[in-house]
Structure 1
Amino acid sequence: MDSTKLYLFACGSFKQAAVQEQVFGRQLAGKPDALVGFCREPFVRPSGILNDRVDGMVFEVTDADLAAADAYEPPNYRRSKVRTASGLLAWVYLRQS
């Protein structure tokens, strides 16, 4: 694992090629991953239950990509660091109350 790389976990719109083209200006290369202890009811949130799992993709991104993603996400979503099932430390957007 390279700690200098930046990763973005996506389970929604950022998985779509058209959204990636719109937000990042290109399609991102990613691999399947998941968040353990999270659920999707109705949005991704920590559940604290280890059997809960949200499947998605992890994309390697740049600081500029994260800034573009910040601008794309609604104001009630915040970027948070999480550990994925594969062990990567990745950013994910979580809805704030």
Structure 2
Amino acid sequence: MIDGGHLFATKSHLQKTANAAALSGAQEIPNAESAVYGVVDEVLSSHGETDSLLQAAVQGDKELLVKLEREVPLFLPPCSDKTLCQSAFRPKRL
């Protein structure tokens, strides 16, 4: 059993951040590619996701691709019964 809510919240946050970076950065495509990446970095920084950037690339002269990734720790519920916890997380031997 894992905390699915935490996984969903993290994915949602990363998607919103990638969307914001791509939309904001794409507005700079007509100006200069360096301006595009500057805006992407600024948006990622404001969302606390500078380390999550996998790829930012201008495709053609009309698209900006932004890919983010972050490891998510798994939160396991505390167990009150050791036998129950062991059987939940490792196979039982017969």
TM-score, with normalisation over the residues of structure 2?
0.29
TM-score, with normalisation over the residues of structure 1?
0.28
**Which has more radius of gyration?**
2
Q: Which has the higher helix share?
A: 2
Bigger relative contact order (CA 8 A; separation at least 6)? 1
Q: Which has the higher strand share?
A: 1
